[in-house]
C-alpha cells in the first residue's frame, strides 16, 4: 500500500481536468490539486524542515490548502494538527505545546490573536495571507518534491477533543484509519465518483473532514467547499450547484429549515443529508424527509475517525432517529458496568473496534490505557440495540442521573421537551437531592415567553415514568455550546447548581 496522497495522483492521471475542489470562484482540478500537494510537500520538507513524524498545526477556516496540506503531510509521513479557530489563545497554545508542533500555518486574523501568547520557540509561523511570509509565496518558490516517505501505518492526524472536562486530548489517526473510514463512508452513502459533496462544517473536526470530504477525494468525486456554514449560502449552493450529498449537525439543520429560502429551494438534487454529533431532534429529520431528502444518521467520535455506526439512504425513512448499524469495517459491543455484553433491549456502553479507530491519545498514556483496551475503544456513550439490529442512542454515561437507584437518561426527557410548542432548546441534568441522591432538572430556552414551569412539568405526565420526569425547570436565554452545537452539559450542571444556591 502507498500513502494516501496517491489517491489524488492517481485520479489526476485518470481525470486531470475534473474539478476536485470548488471554493468560491476557484476551481482546483485533480491535476492542479496533485501539483499543489507536491509543491506543499517540498515546502514542508525543505523550507520548514518538517520530517517524518513531525507535527504541523493548521489554524484557519475551511480552505483548499488544508486538504492539500493533509495529503502533503501524508506524502512525507508528517502529521497534521487541525486547530479549532473558535478556541481562545491559551487553548491554542496548550495544543501547540502538547502536540510539539514544529510549524503553524493559518489565517492572519487568527495568528494575530496569538500575538503576545507564549508560543513555543520552535514553532515556525506561516500565514495564508499577507503581510509577511505567506504559504502562497513559499509554494510559488518551491523546488522539486521530496521522495515519498509516508506509509499507511503512519500517524496522519491528531484531532483534539473539545475539552469540556479538563484539558483536551489528541486522538491519533493513522493514514490507514483515514482510508478505512473512507470505505465505511462510501458504503454508508452509496457514494461514487459521480457525486458532488457540499462541505460546510468546519474541517478542524472529523465530521467536516472525514464523513464526506476525504471519502469523496478518495473516489475522485467533487467537493464544493464553503469557508464556514451560513444557511443562505448553503441553500443557494444546493439551488445553483446541485450537490448530491452534504453533512449537517442539528444546529445547522435548524438554521437551514428556519431560513426564509427553505420553502422555495429545490432540494431534489440531494440524495441524502448525513447528520450526527448528538441526539438529533426528530422534527429536524422529519423536515428534510417531508421534502423527500433522506437523513442518514452517523454515530462516531474523533477517536473513530468518525464513522462507526450509520444508516444508509434506503433505511432512513423507516428507521428515523436510529443510529443505524455497525459499519462495514466496524465491530460494536454493548456492555454493562462489569464489561459483560448485553442483549437486545438493554442499554449498554458502546465499544468500537476497527482499523479506523485511533491508536490512542497523543502524549497521554494514562488516558490511552483508560479508553483503549484489547483493541476496543470505550466511547462513554450508552446505546440500545433493538430486535431488528438497529442501534438507538440513549445518552452519555457521564450524563446519566442515578436517582433512588434508578438510571435516568436525560436524552429521553429532552426528546419529549423538544416536542412542546414554545421550547426552542433544552437540556436535562441532575441536581443533588438529599433523599434521592439526584433528581432531573430541565433547563429550557423559550421560543414563547409565555410558557411557564407548570406547563413544562405537565408535558411529561403519562408520557414518562415519574422518576424520570424533571422536578424543576430553569429558564435561560441560551445554552452553552461547543463549536459544533453540542451542549456543554458540565456548564449547564454548574448553572443549575448556582441557580439552586442563589436565594430567590
Distance CA 230, CA 258 (A): 12
Q: Tell me, what's the pLDDT at 178?
A: 98
Q: Tell me, what's the pLDDT at 491?
A: 92
On whether the pTM is more than 0.85, the answer is yes
Length of the chain: 504
Q: Tell me, what's the pLDDT at 251?
A: 82
Q: Using 70 as the pLDDT threshold, list the residues of the chain that sit under it.
A: 1, 162-166, 277-278, 483-484, 502-504
Q: Tell me, what's the pLDDT at 163?
A: 47
Summarised one tens digit per residue, pLDDT across range 396-433 is 888 889 888 788 888 889 989 999 999 999 999 999 98
Q: Residue 448 CB: number of other CB atoms within 10 A?
A: 11
Strand partners of residue 433: 437
Superfamily the domain 400-501 falls into: ANL, C-terminal domain (3.30.300.30)
Sequence spans of domains, the chain: 400-501
User: Could you tell me which residues come within 8 angstroms of residue 276 by beta carbon, excluding any fewer than 6 positions away?
Assistant: 207, 211, 249, 297, 298, 299, 300, 306
User: Could you tell me which residues come within 8 angstroms of residue 278 by beta carbon, excluding any fewer than 6 positions away?
Assistant: 249, 250, 485, 486, 487
Q: Tell me, what's the pLDDT at 462?
A: 87
Are the CB atoms for 200 and 177 separated by under 8 Å? no
Q: Tell me, what's the pLDDT at 167?
A: 78
Are the CB atoms for 288 and 282 separated by under 8 Å? no
SS3 state at 441: strand
Burial 221-246 (b: 16+ CB within 10 A, else e): bbbbbbeebebeebbebbeeeebbbb
Q: How far is CA 295 from CA 92, 285, 308, 413, in A?
A: 34, 6, 17, 23
Are the CB atoms for 408 and 419 separated by under 8 Å? no
Tell me which residue of 414, 432, 445 sits closest to 494, measured CA to CA. Answer: 432
Q: How far is CA 487 from CA 54, 342, 393, in A?
A: 34, 29, 16
SS3 state at 453: helix
Amino acid at each position: 500500500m502507498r500513502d494516501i496522497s496517491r489517491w489524488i495522483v492517481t485520479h489526476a492521471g485518470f481525470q486531470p481536468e475534473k474539478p476536485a475542489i470548488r471554493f468560491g470562484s476557484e476551481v482546483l482540478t485533480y491535476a492542479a490539486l496533485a501539483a499543489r500537494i507536491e509543491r506543499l510537500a517540498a515546502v514542508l520538507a525543505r523550507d520548514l524542515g518538517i520530517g517524518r513524524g513531525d507535527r504541523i498545526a493548521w489554524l484557519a477556516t475551511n480552505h483548499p490548502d488544508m486538504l492539500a496540506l493533509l495529503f502533503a503531510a501524508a506524502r512525507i509521513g508528517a502529521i497534521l494538527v487541525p486547530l479549532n479557530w473558535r478556541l481562545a489563545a491559551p487553548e491554542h497554545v496548550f495544543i501547540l505545546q502538547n502536540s510539539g508542533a514544529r510549524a503553524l500555518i493559518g489565517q492572519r486574523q487568527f495568528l494575530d490573536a496569538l500575538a503576545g501568547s507564549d508560543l513555543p520557540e520552535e514553532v515556525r509561523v506561516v500565514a495564508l495571507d499577507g503581510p509577511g511570509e505567506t504559504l502562497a509565496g513559499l509554494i510559488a518558490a518551491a523546488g522539486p518534491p521530496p521522495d515519498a516517505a509516508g506509509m499507511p501505518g503512519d500517524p496522519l492526524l491528531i484531532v483534539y477533543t473539545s475539552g469540556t472536562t479538563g484539558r483536551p486530548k489528541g486522538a491519533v489517526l493513522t493514514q490507514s484509519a483515514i482510508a478505512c473510514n473512507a470505505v465505511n463512508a462510501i458504503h454508508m452513502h452509496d457514494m461514487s465518483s459521480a457525486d458532488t459533496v457540499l462541505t460546510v462544517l468546519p474541517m478542524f473536526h472529523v465530521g467536516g473532514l472525514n464523513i464526506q470530504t476525504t471519502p469523496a477525494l478518495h473516489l475522485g468525486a467533487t467537493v464544493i467547499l464553503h469557508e464556514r456554514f451560513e444557511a443562505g449560502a448553503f441553500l443557494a449552493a444546493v439551488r445553483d450547484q446541485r450537490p448530491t450529498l452534504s453533512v449537517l449537525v442539528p444546529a445547522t439543520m435548524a438554521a437551514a429549515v428556519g431560513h426564509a429560502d427553505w420553502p422555495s429551494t429545490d432540494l431534489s438534487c440531494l440524495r441524502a443529508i448525513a447528520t450526527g454529533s448528538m441526539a438529533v431532534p426528530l422534527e429536524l429529520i422529519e423536515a428534510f424527509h417531508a421534502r423527500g431528502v433522506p437523513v442518514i444518521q452517523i454515530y462516531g467520535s474523533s477517536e473513530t475517525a468518525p464513522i462507526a455506526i450509520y444508516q444508509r439512504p434506503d433505511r432512513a425513512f423507516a428507521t428515523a432517529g436510529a443510529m443505524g448499524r455497525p459499519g462495514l469495517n466496524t465491530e460494536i459491543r454493548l456492555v454493562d458496568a462489569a464489561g459483560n455484553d448485553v442483549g437486545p433491549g438493554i442499554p449498554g456502553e458502546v465499544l468500537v473496534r476497527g482499523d479506523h479507530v485511533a491508536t490512542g491519545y497523543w502524549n497521554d498514556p494514562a488516558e490511552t490505557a483508560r479508553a483503549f483496551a484489547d483493541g476496543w475503544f470505550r466511547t462513554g456513550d450508552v446505546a440500545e440495540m433493538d430486535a431488528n439490529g438497529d442501534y438507538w442512542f440513549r445518552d452519555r454515561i457521564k450524563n446519566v442521573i442515578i436517582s433512588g437507584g434508578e438510571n435516568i437518561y436525560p436524552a429521553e426527557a429532552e426528546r419529549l421537551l423538544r416536542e412542546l410548542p414554545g421550547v426552542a432548546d433544552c437540556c436535562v441534568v441532575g441536581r443533588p437531592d438529599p433523599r434521592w441522591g439526584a433528581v432531573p432538572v430541565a433547563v429550557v430556552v423559550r421560543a414563547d415567553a409565555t410558557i411557564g414551569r407548570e406547563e413544562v412539568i405537565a408535558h411529561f405526565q403519562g408520557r414518562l415514568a415519574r422518576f424520570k420526569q424533571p422536578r424543576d425547570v430553569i429558564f435561560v436565554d441560551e445554552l452553552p455550546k461547543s463549536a459544533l452545537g453540542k451542549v456543554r452539559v458540565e456548564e449547564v450542571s454548574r448553572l443549575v447548581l448556582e441557580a439552586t444556591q442563589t436565594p430567590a
